[in-house]
Amino acid sequence: IRNVTVLTTAAGDYNGVATLRTHEHHGMSSIGAGAGEDAVQVPMSRLDDLVGASIGEDLPLFVKIDVEGYELPVLRGMPGLLARPSTRVFVEVGDPLASAYGARTQDIFDLMAGHGYRGYRARTSPIGGKVAFTPLPGPLDKFTYDVLFSRGEPGSPGR
């Protein structure tokens, strides 16, 4: 892959240093949460400061966030990217994980609505593999799930 750059920093709502608590399953590591895991210090950067200036204003932007409950601070660190007209954000949400950081899924929906976004649940058809998006009026009563936040209908060009 020639168009990917690996950045060795955590994403959050400040620039500095954060504690990363590692887990034997790398997908379960988290910023400052959890007990009994090994901790390492890592750089922390706001996405606006890390990549915002390097992405042309006219380019569509798709951001996938799955950070074990730390999604709200990551979103708070990217107001400039969220202000771009063609940004879409795919976020794993869930109160049990977010509560470790004093957040709720409703906080994510509120922040995104404040930037003009609406949440959609993606469903894949077992026949033909087509994806349908259903608007969400707010958080679901589920442990964790993924939400696509978009300003327009998810399938519309340029939105």
Q: 59: which 2 tokens?
A: 């380019």
Q: Dump pLDDT digits (tens) for 20-41.
A: 887 777 666 778 755 555 888 9
Residues 121 and 59: beta-carbon distance below 8 Å: no
Task: State the DSSP string of 95-113.
Answer: HHHHGGGT--HHHHHHHHH
Let me know the angle formed at the C-alpha of 40 by 48 and 54, rounded to the nearest 5 degrees: 20
Q: Is the pTM of this model over 0.75?
A: yes
Query: If phi over 0 gives left and psi between -120 and 50 gives alpha, with beta otherwise, what is residue 129?
Result: left
Phi then psi for residue 71, to 5 deg, are -60, -40
State pLDDT tens for residues 45-89.
999 998 877 777 777 789 999 998 999 999 999 999 999 888 999
